[in-house]
Structure 1
Amino acid sequence: MRVTQGMLAQQSLRHVTQNYKNLSEMQNQLSTGKKISRPSQDPVVAVNGMRYRAQVAEVEQFQRNVQEAHTWMDAGDTALGEATQVLQRLKELTTQAANDTYEASERGNIAKEVKQLKEHMATMANTSINGKYIFNGTDTNNAPVDSARLGIAADNMFAMEAEELESLSVNIDGAVYSNAARLDDDTIQFTNDADEIVTFTRNEDEIELNVNGTAAEPDAAFVYDETAISVNQGRVNIELLHDTMMPVNISPDSVFNQELFADLEQLERTLSNPDAGSSDIEGFLSKIDIHMNNTVNERAELGARTNRIEMMENRLGNQELIAEKVMSKNEDVDLEKTIIELMLLENVHQASLSAGARIIQPSLMDFLR
């Protein structure tokens, strides 16, 4: 085979061009820190990189969800803690008022504090974070308790229209009566599923209460609008791991329920009644204990979920480290190795240029001299 000077020159230029290409790729790797800059360079690395990035993005989203869950549960725990303190204070006040040495005026002063504590309890029930109410189930856009429609005075019922009466209920010693109906201008009746009847009768300036045929004190009845206290039991679930949903809200029916506000309203009325005795007041101690136990139990259940979320958070942290390590191993260059290879390529390039210069420089005229 005859090798000409042109063939040597072309081959030398081809090698120089290839060296430039290798140097360019190596410089790109050093400047970007990545093995490839376009999928065509290594489709396997590109496909694996997309999969690893999706995994890292999923873990990061779960971590944001965990922070959202912590926000909900921390706010709920704080509100339940305040509710427990309010109930403890109510128990102290009730114990004091049950003392026969207290006069009606002193009990009246205690009733004023009970009223403030009741209103504060409604405020805690309406706790919101980022514009979402955390104690109203899945209906997070509306407040669970409307204080304006709690504790409706019995005489105000007679001024209501029939449509307004339909949403009223009455709580008497824990028994709830609904299905309000106006029998005549001076009589309003409530019934329950057991066909028990409660009747309010207006007699001149007085209101008479009759429970299943037995006369009772009107102050013993807590009349309220059924829509004033939410009964939404929906769970607000947040996905914290793949296919793992965690409820982050508190069931309002366990803590801020109709029985709680009915008992607080009746306690306030009893303390304001000068004819009430210590035995009438002592009966509220057991009711307060029930509400306190419900609150503590709900807080304990919330704490158990918080502990589980913290374990999920640790697991997500480990998954993030592993995913980033695998992604880095797949995409990132080894800087030390790349720098050495670049230096070798530079030496090869310089040598090829030097050799090519010796081959291309001579011409036919140089041999004719």
Structure 2
Amino acid sequence: MRITNSMMRSNSLWNINRNEELMSKYETQLSTGKKIQKPSDDPIVAVRALKFRTNVKEIAQYKTNSEDATSWLGVTEQALANTTKLLKRARDLCVQGSSDIFSTNDRNTIIAELNELKAQFVNEANVNYAGRYIFSGFKTDQPVTFTKTQNTVNYAITESIDAKNIEKFSTVVESGTPGKYVINDAYRVRLGYGDIASNITATIISPPTNITIDSTRLSTANDAYTPPAGQAYFLKDTGELIFNSDNVNGVAPAVPVPTTFDFAYNKINFEKGDLVPEQYHNCVNTTAIPNITYTKPKDEMVYQISYNQEITVNTMGNEVFTTDLARDFDEIINSVKNIMNDGTQKDSLKKDLLGNFFEGMLTKVDKHLNTVVREQSIIGSKMNRLELTINRLEDDNVNFTELLSLNENVNMTEAVINLKAQEIVYNASLASSSKLMQRTLMDFIN
């Protein structure tokens, strides 16, 4: 085959261009620090780079979610820790109040402190994180309690109470002799609110069929807490359903257990610190136009903290700051005030009754304390889990970032060597081509 000068020039130009392209490639790698500049340079590297970049971004988001969840749980834990301290102090006060060595005036001082503790309970229930109320579920713009008195808002509330929640408590009744009183045990179930709208009769939707319920009584009546056998009194002003003691203790007609008492009632007057009904009950805001219907919330704020891993960060106020907690404190405070101001009772009777009240409150405080401590332990376990998750995410971030670097980034030492080697080849191709191109027709004439 005859090799012409034209063919030699073409081959030389092709080789020079190819060497120049390779040198440009290594120069670009050296200047950018990356192995490839476009997917077609190496599709496998490109695909792996996309995967690793996605992993790194996901890990960063999971870490952010975990840190946000930790912050939310931290605020919740602090609020519960404060509540635990308040309840422990309330317990100490109840122990003091139940002691016989304390006079009625001493117990009045205890009530003053309990009143301050109740106000602080309200503050803890309404604690917020970055302007979001943490115990309100999805309604983070709404506090758990009313922050000011509301006299115009009307709620139609439906509330269910299990008969197993019938509680025994002490009250004062006439002994049968005018001017003489004795302590009497009474049995009740209690609604979340007292002072039910006086112009609206509360309806008990599903009472025991064998007991008649009288809804006309008020707590101020002499026989309000001593219904006859086979009858129960619903006290509208205190929100209590009072049972005959014999019926509760199994004497026919006995209160069947389990039985659920479903109440439908209206509540209008709300004081500052009262619980917001839509946070605790199925209810309808009849003041709003059109009316707004609410279902008792059980909201779960879920954060995704890792691959296929989620965690619920919120605690519902209705699970910790219960209606019983609020009403128990209101009741002990109001009861002691009423006893102290009652001039018809002897000091000895007052002392005994106050002791009974504080002793009963002691049991209730222990129950509330157990509820809060249990929730606090749940929060603590979640925070421990988040700490472990964050540590693992940090390790994953290091690993995937290293894999991303190994996949994308060029080895600088290798890149410099490749560039210098290619530069030598390129210069050699230029030199050899220049020698070839210097030949003329005269070089072939002998």
TM-score after normalising by structure 1: 0.82
1:1-369 matched pairs, under 5 angstroms: 1-146=1-146, 148=148, 164=154, 166-167=156-157, 175-177=189-191, 191=204, 193-194=206-207, 196-197=213-214, 199=216, 201=218, 210-211=224-225, 213=227, 227=277, 229-230=279-280, 231-273=296-338, 274=340, 275=350, 276-364=353-441
Three-state SS of the structure 2 residue aligned to 1:272 is helix
Aligned CA-pair RMSD: 3.7
Residue ranges of structure 1 left out of the alignment (5+ in a row): 151-159
Three-state SS of the structure 1 residue aligned to 2:73 is helix
Change (3 A) 1:311 1:283: same
For the 8 Å contact 1:111–1:268, the answer to whether it is kept is: yes
For residues 218 and 182 of structure 1, the distance between their equivalents in structure 2, rounded to whole angstroms, comes to 6
Which one has a larger percent helix, Structure 1 or Structure 2? Answer: 1
Residue ranges of structure 2 left out of the alignment (5+ in a row): 168-187, 241-266, 268-273, 281-295, 341-349
Look up the match of 2:178: none
Three-state SS of the structure 2 residue aligned to 1:146 is coil
User: Alpha-carbon deviation of 1:251?
Assistant: 3.4
Three-state SS of the structure 1 residue aligned to 2:224 is strand
For the 8 Å contact 2:193–2:238, the answer to whether it is kept is: no
Change (3 A) 1:178 1:340: closer
For the 8 Å contact 2:217–2:234, the answer to whether it is kept is: no
1:12-39 Cα offsets, whole Å, 9 max, x none, are 2222221221111111111211111111
User: Alpha-carbon deviation of 1:74?
Assistant: 0.9
User: What amino acid maps onto 1:240 in structure 2?
Assistant: I
For the 8 Å contact 1:165–1:181, the answer to whether it is kept is: no
User: Alpha-carbon deviation of 1:184?
Assistant: 7.6
For residues 145 and 316 of structure 1, the distance between their equivalents in structure 2, rounded to whole angstroms, comes to 38
User: What amino acid maps onto 2:428 in structure 1?
Assistant: A
Three-state SS of the structure 1 residue aligned to 2:299 is coil
User: Alpha-carbon deviation of 1:46?
Assistant: 1.5
Q: Could you tell which deviates more after superposition, 255-264 or 171-180?
A: 171-180
User: Alpha-carbon deviation of 1:190?
Assistant: 6.5
Change (3 A) 1:192 1:272: farther
Change (3 A) 1:295 1:100: same
User: What amino acid maps onto 1:250 in structure 2?
Assistant: T
1:152-175 Cα offsets, whole Å, 9 max, x none, are xxxxxxxx89x9374498999672
For residues 105 and 232 of structure 1, the distance between their equivalents in structure 2, rounded to whole angstroms, comes to 43
Three-state SS of the structure 1 residue aligned to 2:402 is helix
Q: Could you tell which deviates more after superposition, 110-119 or 320-329?
A: 320-329
Three-state SS of the structure 2 residue aligned to 1:135 is coil
Change (3 A) 1:168 1:4: closer
Three-state SS of the structure 2 residue aligned to 1:246 is strand
1:227-286 Cα offsets, whole Å, 9 max, x none, are 175352221111112232211112333311101111111122233331452222221111
Three-state SS of the structure 1 residue aligned to 2:154 is helix
For residues 181 and 210 of structure 1, the distance between their equivalents in structure 2, rounded to whole angstroms, comes to 15
For residues 129 and 31 of structure 2, the distance between their equivalents in structure 1, rounded to whole angstroms, comes to 45
Look up the match of 1:156: none
User: Alpha-carbon deviation of 1:77?
Assistant: 0.8
Three-state SS of the structure 2 residue aligned to 1:210 is coil
User: What amino acid maps onto 1:109 in structure 2?
Assistant: T
For residues 72 and 204 of structure 2, the distance between their equivalents in structure 1, rounded to whole angstroms, comes to 39
User: Alpha-carbon deviation of 1:69?
Assistant: 1.2
Identity %: 26
For residues 149 and 170 of structure 1, the distance between their equivalents in structure 2, rounded to whole angstroms, comes to 26
For the 8 Å contact 2:69–2:313, the answer to whether it is kept is: yes
Look up the match of 1:153: none
User: What amino acid maps onto 1:359 in structure 2?
Assistant: L
User: Alpha-carbon deviation of 1:119?
Assistant: 1.5
TM-score after normalising by structure 2: 0.69
